[in-house]
Amino acid sequence: MQKVKVDLKKEVDSSYEITIGSEYAKEILQKLRDEGCFFMVDENIFELYGDFFTHDNMFRFRADEHNKTHESVVAVLGFLFRCNARRDSKMVITGGGITGDVGGFVAATYMRGISFIQIPTTLLSMVDSSVGGKTGINFRGSKNNVGSFAQPEHVYIDMSFLKTLTDEEYLNGVAEVIKYGAIFDADFFTYLEENKDKVLARDLETLAYVVKRCCEMKALVVQKDEKEKGDRALLNFGHTFAHAIETDSDHVVKHGFAVAAGMYLETDFAVKKGDATPETLQHMKRILTDYGFDISYEIIDKEKFFNAMLSDKKADKKGLTLALTPSIGSGKILKNIPLQSVVDYFNNL
C-alpha cells in the first residue's frame, strides 16, 4: 500500500488520504457495507465484479456522458431519500469519472452535504477526477458547467480494476497522465516516453508509480489552489479545445482522446502566437502519436464547436483562458484570448 496526502487545513480541515494498492477493493467495500454506507456503483463494474456488491443500499448507475445530467442527480437523490439517508450518512462512489462526478455532486447537495468516498475504477478517474473535489454534470450542451467543490473523505485506488478496462477506456486515461508531465514534470514526461511499452502493456509496477506520481502532482496543486483561482487551472491543459471537440462530436470522441487532440492543437495555437516553442510542439506530437492518439480533429458544426468554447467555465467577458505548456514541464495560463483568434486558427488548419 502507498499513500498520498491531500493536505487542506484551512478554515475547515478537509484533508484526506489517497490509498493506492492492489486486490483490496472487495475487503474495503465489505467494511464500508458493514458501516452502513450507501453505494452508487457503475453498472459495468457491477457486472464485472458482482461478488463485490452484495449491498441492499445500492444505486446502479449507467455511466455515459448523455447520462451526466440533472435527471440522474434527481434519481440518485431519490434513492438516498427512499433509503432514509441522513446528514451523518456516508456515500461510497465506485466507478469511473462520470460516476464520480455525478455521485460527488449528489453527496455535496443532499441535505447540504454528506460525506463520501471515491473508489475510482478507470485510469482516468484514478489519476484525475477522483482527486481534488470537483463534482458536476453537463447542462444544456456544456461540459461540467453545473457542480460544486466537495472533497471526498478518502480515495481508495485498487490498481487491479485496470485489468478489465477496454483498450479504449485505458487509453482514455493515458492522455491525462501525459498532461501531468507536460505541465508539471519534464522528468515524468521523459519517463512516459521511455516506458511507453510498459505503460501500454499495463505493467502494474509501472502503473503504480505512474498513478502515485500523478496523484502527488494533483494533490500539490489542489493544496495550493483548491477552488481553481490560480495555478489549478493549469490542469485544464488541452481541455478548452477538448470540451468543444466532445460537444461537437456529441461525445463520440471520448474525453481522453479529445484532451490528447486538444493538447496538441492548443500547443500548435500557442506556437503560432509565440507562447510556446516549436520544440515543445514536436515533443507533444511525438509522445501522443507514439501512444496511438489522433492529434487532429475535423469540426462537424462550427457554430456548435465555438459556442462550446464560449460556454466553457474558464471563459469570461474578456475572452477565453487557455492552460498551455510553453516548454515541457512548465505550464502557463494565458487569459483574455479573443474567440476570433481561435476561430481564425481553426479556419487556417
As annotated, the active-site residues are 112, 134, 176, 218, 228, 232, 236, 239, 243, 255
Counting Cβ atoms within 10 Å, is residue 117 exposed (0-12), middle (13-18) or buried (19+)?
buried
- In the chain, the amino acid numbered 333 is I
CA neighbours closer than 13 Å in the CB half-sphere of residue 306: 13
- Tell me the pairing of strands 2-6 and 16-21: antiparallel
Counting Cβ atoms within 10 Å, is residue 21 exposed (0-12), middle (13-18) or buried (19+)?
middle
Please check whether residue 323 is in contact with residue 333, taking contact to mean a CB–CB distance below 8 angstroms. Answer: yes
Cα-atom radius of gyration of the chain, to the nearest Å?
20
**What values do phi and psi take at 143, rounded to 5?**
-85, 125
Please check whether residue 122 is in contact with residue 159, taking contact to mean a CB–CB distance below 8 angstroms. Answer: no
**How far apart (Å, rounded) are the C-alpha atoms in residues 183 and 26?**
35
Cell numbers linked to 19: 490509498
Q: Helix H segments across the chain?
A: 25-34, 43-48, 70-82, 97-109, 123-124, 167-184, 186-194, 196-200, 204-224, 239-248, 255-272, 278-290, 302-310, 339-347
Please check whether residue 243 is in contact with residue 143, taking contact to mean a CB–CB distance below 8 angstroms. Answer: yes
Please check whether residue 134 is in contact with residue 146, taking contact to mean a CB–CB distance below 8 angstroms. Answer: no
Please check whether residue 76 is in contact with residue 61, taking contact to mean a CB–CB distance below 8 angstroms. Answer: yes
